[in-house]
Amino acid sequence: MSEPQPSRSGERPDVFAVPIIDVSRWDDGEAGERDAIARAVDDACRSVGFMQITGHAIPEDVIDRFASAMDEFFGLPDDHKLATRSPRASINRGYSAPKTERLSYSLGVDSPADMFEAFNVGASIDDFPDLALDPDVYARNIWPTDAPHFRAAVDEWFMHAGRLARRMTSVFAHALGIADDFFASRTDHSIDVLRMVNYALPPGTELEPEQLGMGAHTDYGICTVLWADAVPGLEILGPDGTWRSVLPAPGALLINLGDLLSRWTNDRYLSTMHRVVPPTDVDGRSMRRRSAAFFHDGNADATISTIDSCRDAGGGTGYADVTVAEHLAQKLAGSRGLELNEHAGREAARIEAPPSTSDT
């Protein structure tokens, strides 16, 4: 049996080396194989907070159909896309036009408006007919009527990405020394959202000072499954306080950690600070970049309380208990509602003073 050593992506000196981990033997591997995968993931969670996952078992044709579906929607005329906007910012569904969101506001940090456009779908009340759920948090999806192949391909990707996210939470639990199914009862009606993003600046666009494709932020939930074009733009904040580019490895999906996993682990696992700069080629010309982030956020009514083994010697933690719904509402009121979030001081402080890697 071979140890799944996390290889490193990116041969260019300006590209950050993100561990590449094969999880193909997680579900049916021997105990030693599962332990080795968990150790590799634990190392990535402690040191980088980003990892590239291979062996995810998602067929290439599923990815191809999904990418084509994104092209179908984002290629629609602007008025057709705008017809799928959410009725209000608190409902995280439908289309977001360029310059309507500011992701840094989720950290309480001011910045110019972000340049991306996006389309969101998510788990809805119809998926859980036996539960009394908030119809805004578990809102019904808004589907375009003039993109005939879009919904089927998006639903297919949503299913596969969700399956991978749940597999990763099992790996996280194993790595943390708690029951492999620890997260299962806290995610059985998870607020999962798939955000499809298009970065394509019209010719002649002039950016404001410090304006980005997507402002610096941490993701809000447990973990994110990210598919992206092999186009520069995504940057993560390293422990040394510098922004470094990340490019997806062929066949891999990026996984990054969210705020709720930081809270559960008392920053043993840090949510990853990242941003997207306007993508350009080597000559500085604007390029199109597509990405799709599947956010696995947990049950709205789940209380996030630091795991006992991650507390300090006196049983303390840097985080107060919070429900998933409360935390997400604070974050979305920032990024979508454009109200500076007053509850994200620990995350925001990393931009100016990135923390050292924790060995808790």
* CATH assignment of the domain containing 175: 2.60.120.330
Domain membership flag for residue 225? yes
Domain membership flag for residue 45? no
CB 155 within 8 Å of CB 146: no
Q: Between the CA of residue 305 and those of 41, 168, 318, 321, 335, what are the distances in Å? A: 22, 20, 11, 5, 24
Domain membership flag for residue 319? yes
CB 155 within 8 Å of CB 253: no
Domain membership flag for residue 105? yes
Domain membership flag for residue 213? yes
Digit-by-digit pLDDT tens for the chain (360 residues) are: 344 444 444 444 456 779 999 999 999 999 999 999 999 999 999 988 999 999 999 999 999 999 999 999 999 999 999 999 999 999 999 999 999 999 999 999 999 999 999 999 999 999 999 999 999 999 999 999 999 999 999 999 999 999 999 999 999 999 999 999 999 999 999 999 999 999 988 777 888 989 999 999 999 999 999 999 999 899 999 878 889 999 889 999 999 999 999 999 999 998 999 999 988 777 777 889 999 999 999 999 999 999 999 999 999 999 999 999 999 999 999 999 999 999 998 888 887 664 444 443
Tell me if residue 190 falls in helix, strand or coil. Answer: strand
Q: Could you tell me the end-to-end alpha-carbon distance of the chain, in angstroms, rounded to an integer?
A: 29
Q: What pLDDT is attached to residue 16?
A: 73
Domain membership flag for residue 265? yes
| Domain with 142 in it | 60-351
Strands 19-22 and 7-8: antiparallel
Q: Find the radius of gyration of the CA atoms of the chain.
A: 19
> What is the Cα–Cα distance from 10 to 248, expressed in whole angstroms?
8
| Type of residue found at 270 | L
Domain membership flag for residue 20? no
* H-only helix segments in the chain: 31-47, 60-74, 78-82, 150-176, 259-265, 324-335, 345-352
Tokens representing residue 221 in the block: 């939930």
* Total of domains in the chain: 1
Domain membership flag for residue 142? yes
CB 65 within 8 Å of CB 57: no
Q: What pLDDT is attached to residue 202?
A: 77
Q: What pLDDT is attached to residue 349?
A: 87
Tokens representing residue 296 in the block: 């696995």
